[in-house]
A and B are shown apart, each in its own frame.
Chain A
């Protein structure tokens, strides 16, 4: 999976392109100008939402768990079907374990880059061994290639590449 440019870089690129390539050509159409500005605003919102999104969902999930249990506890001694349902929720869904906090995206990215650099350096080393006629190096390179294949297949199926030739004949 690609780590650079980041998703934030891509979104920022779209905001800049709207400014540089689209808005100057919209002429004096106030509606089109306003729409372009709305797109920029929405894209900026997504940029700010994305880094927080998963951590926020996890934090809110865990806080809801705790609150559901506390809210039911406040009804201790109350004899009513509504209170029973509150206690059932506290003992049921709210008693499930909290979700683990997701790793920071930058931490994951840095760790990924470190291993990628190691794979790259192995390719250089294997190339020397292969040119020296060491047959085992072929098998070793195949191990790395077999590991990389699903990574590329996943990237290609996740990133929409079909539109990559727009603007050409």
Chain B
């Protein structure tokens, strides 16, 4: 693998005298991509530039949760770097020939900062930074949601990146085609009747469409594990593979759920500004209500729940034997309880 990494980096730094790779090791974490860290030393004459790096590699197609393109993610990261102030990794290249790394892959800069964001909460060692970090996180999200869609997605790759018939021409067409995607997909993801409440939520979402809001670029997996921080600032927003055009309230709603599941309190900060939603509303001059937030918690959860449960369904049918997909039974179960709460099931404890 080191040889292929050196060759890929040398293709980026053609003017150099060579690239040496060291410290390659697999990282735990991401559920949908295989992630490795390594260091690249780029030699030019007597100078050496050390680059901390990440290799993000697709899993084999049979066990992929999200069928997304590393080229699209590469283009997105570079567009964000060029047109916004959002802290993201530099992407050096996307290698779309699976022969090189075994699967399609991309090489990105390893950003500085603490990725164990649970340190910010529950009396963690960095609790004194939490308000500043979350305030900055909110400002970054606002910048993303107000960025120019055409500048970031000139080729339209983020309009329907899963290729499932989403039409973001208008807010209504976006919502209606997304409902269709959720509801039509349900029979193929129903590995067990325990998912009944998910079907209930899909149907409820369609019956209760909220007021429209201008579409924007949404991160698509905005959760407490997808940012790094240092000294009271977010140093990177990471994991952009599910980014697409959507309703900005989806990112907020998904964070609400993941905050609960991760036992973090992002949404409660910055305290002085009344919490994440209040600060977001203040920055954008909006009045997104808690009810809308609840709606988009379901809507945003559905977006992730469909591919996750599709993977679980394939694993349950034993089309593949990936252990992670079996483990996701545990990860996804608490989301079902959130469905019950948000749909107002009788008898659910407050």
- Interface size bucket, B side? 35 or more
| Contact residues in A for B318 (Cβ distance below 8 Å) | 9
Bound: A29/B116 CA distance, A:
31
B316, A169: Cβ atoms closer than 8 Å: no
Stretch from A59-67, A89-97, A113-121 forming part of the interface with B: A113-121
- B122 lies within 8 A of chain A by Cβ: no
**Interface of chain B residues 224 through 276 with chain A (CB within 8 A):** 224-225, 261-262
| Contact residues in B for A113 (Cβ distance below 8 Å) | 193
- If the complex has contacts A4-B191, A16-B323, A127-B203, are A168 and B225 also in contact, measured as CB distance less than 8 A? yes
Interface of A is mostly: helix
- B146 lies within 8 A of chain A by Cβ: no
- B6 lies within 8 A of chain A by Cβ: no
- B336 lies within 8 A of chain A by Cβ: yes
- A85 lies within 8 A of chain B by Cβ: no
- A53 lies within 8 A of chain B by Cβ: no
- B14 lies within 8 A of chain A by Cβ: no
- A100 lies within 8 A of chain B by Cβ: no
Bound: A156/B330 CA distance, A:
10
- B16 lies within 8 A of chain A by Cβ: no
| Contact residues in A for B207 (Cβ distance below 8 Å) | 127, 130-131
Contact among A10, A152, A159, A164 for B326, CB-based, below 8 A: A10
Within the complex, the shortest CB–CB distance from B63 to chain A, in Å, comes to 11
- If the complex has contacts A119-B196, A168-B262, are A149 and B348 also in contact, measured as CB distance less than 8 A? yes
Contact among B194, B262, B316, B349 for A165, CB-based, below 8 A: B262
- A161 lies within 8 A of chain B by Cβ: yes
- If the complex has contacts A21-B323, A123-B199, are A164 and B345 also in contact, measured as CB distance less than 8 A? no
B321, A13: Cβ atoms closer than 8 Å: yes
Bound: A159/B194 CA distance, A:
13
Q: Name the residue on B nearest A13 (C-beta).
A: B326
| Contact residues in B for A146 (Cβ distance below 8 Å) | 345-347
- A142 lies within 8 A of chain B by Cβ: yes
| Contact residues in A for B316 (Cβ distance below 8 Å) | 4-5, 9
A145, B193: Cβ atoms closer than 8 Å: no
- A150 lies within 8 A of chain B by Cβ: yes
- B28 lies within 8 A of chain A by Cβ: yes
- If the complex has contacts A123-B203, A152-B340, A156-B334, are A4 and B196 also in contact, measured as CB distance less than 8 A? no
Interface of B is mostly: helix
Within the complex, the shortest CB–CB distance from A129 to chain B, in Å, comes to 11
| Contact residues in B for A153 (Cβ distance below 8 Å) | 347-349
- B329 lies within 8 A of chain A by Cβ: yes
| Contact residues in A for B326 (Cβ distance below 8 Å) | 5, 9-10, 13, 17
A156, B199: Cβ atoms closer than 8 Å: no
Within the complex, the shortest CB–CB distance from B62 to chain A, in Å, comes to 13
B340, A169: Cβ atoms closer than 8 Å: no
- If the complex has contacts A16-B323, A123-B199, are A155 and B194 also in contact, measured as CB distance less than 8 A? yes
Bound: A130/B329 CA distance, A:
32
Most buried by A among B196, B207, B327, B347: B196
- Interface size bucket, A side? 35 or more
- A160 lies within 8 A of chain B by Cβ: yes
| Contact residues in A for B191 (Cβ distance below 8 Å) | 4-5
**Interface of chain A residues 97 through 145 with chain B (CB within 8 A):** 112-113, 116-117, 119-120, 123-124, 127, 130-131, 141-142, 145
| Contact residues in B for A3 (Cβ distance below 8 Å) | 192-194
Bound: A113/B190 CA distance, A:
12
Q: Name the residue on B nearest A149 (C-beta).
A: B347
Most buried by B among A1, A145, A163, A169: A169
B337, A163: Cβ atoms closer than 8 Å: no
- B331 lies within 8 A of chain A by Cβ: yes
A13, B224: Cβ atoms closer than 8 Å: no
- If the complex has contacts A112-B193, A155-B333, A167-B29, are A145 and B200 also in contact, measured as CB distance less than 8 A? yes
Interface string of B167-209 (1 = CB under 8 A from A): 0000000000000000000000011111011011001001100
A152, B331: Cβ atoms closer than 8 Å: no
21 chain-A/chain-B pairs, Cβ below 8 angstroms: A9-B318, A13-B315, A17-B326, A116-B193, A119-B193, A120-B190, A123-B200, A145-B200, A149-B346, A152-B337, A153-B349, A155-B194, A156-B333, A156-B337, A160-B330, A163-B330, A164-B334, A167-B29, A168-B29, A168-B225, A169-B29
Closest 4 CB pairs of A and B: A116-B193, A17-B323, A164-B331, A164-B330
Q: Given known contacts A4-B191, A149-B345, A164-B334, what 15 new A-B pairs fall within 8 Å (CB)?
A: A2-B329, A3-B192, A14-B323, A120-B196, A120-B199, A124-B203, A127-B206, A130-B207, A141-B200, A145-B200, A149-B348, A161-B330, A165-B261, A167-B29, A169-B118
